[in-house]
């Protein structure tokens, strides 16, 4: 079972729909065009398209399994007195006074460019259960980093 925010599950369903309704027909068309070119035993385009089709079908099957086992996290039922999944956390790195904001999400929704970090990451784990004003000491490969929890919300 995998957990998603509503937005994360919506994005996954959109990607799955794209694979099934756009990419699958495009590969089928490539296979048909390559097949029309004659001898399949020496047709590199045909073999490449068939291989791409296999990879696509495997990806679709995996995504359908994830969707089938997906559970949406209801943020309104989570304890709002401490940092949990779906919390947006404003931190200050004590070593250099740099401030940053992250949203804690499920592993499958993590995207650092969007400011979304996994609750399973070292920083995510170190923030869980903390409250405003707490100092989170987080073990990272370079040692231990300390972050002050400036604020958080859901």
Enclosing domain of residue 126: 75-153
Averages of pLDDT over each 10 residues, the chain, 154 residues? 83 94 94 80 83 95 91 79 92 94 91 93 93 93 92 89
Q: Strands, E, within the chain: which ranges?
A: 2-4, 70-72, 88-93, 99-105, 116-118, 135-140, 143-153
Which of 72, 93, 109 is the endpoint of a domain? 72
**Taking the complete model, does pTM exceed 0.75, yes or no?**
no
CA dist., res. 3 & res. 29, Å (int): 36
List pLDDT tens digits, range 49-62: 899 999 999 999 99
pLDDT at 25: 95
Number of domains the chain contains: 2
Closest to 117 measured CA to CA, from 144, 142, 140: 140
pLDDT at 7: 86
pLDDT at 150: 96
In this structure, the answer to whether residues 42 and 53 fall within a common structural domain is: yes
């Amino acid at each position: 079972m995998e957990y998603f925010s509503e937005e994360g599950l919506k994005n996954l369903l959109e990607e799955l729909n794209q694979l099934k309704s756009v990419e699958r027909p495009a590969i089928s068309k490539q296979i048909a065009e390559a097949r029309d070119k004659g001898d399949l035993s020496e047709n590199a385009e045909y073999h490449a398209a068939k291989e791409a089709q296999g990879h696509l079908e495997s990806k679709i099957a995996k995504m359908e399994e994830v969707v089938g086992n997906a559970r949406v996290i209801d943020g309104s039922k989570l304890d709002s007195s401490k940092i949990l999944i779906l919390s947006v956390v404003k931190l200050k790195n004590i070593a250099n006074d740099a401030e940053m904001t992250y949203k804690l999400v499920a592993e499958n929704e993590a995207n650092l460019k969007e400011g979304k970090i996994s609750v399973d990451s070292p920083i995510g784990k170190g923030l869980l259960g903390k409250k405003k004003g707490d100092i989170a000491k987080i073990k990272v490969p370079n040692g231990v980093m300390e972050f002050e929890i400036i604020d958080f919300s859901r």
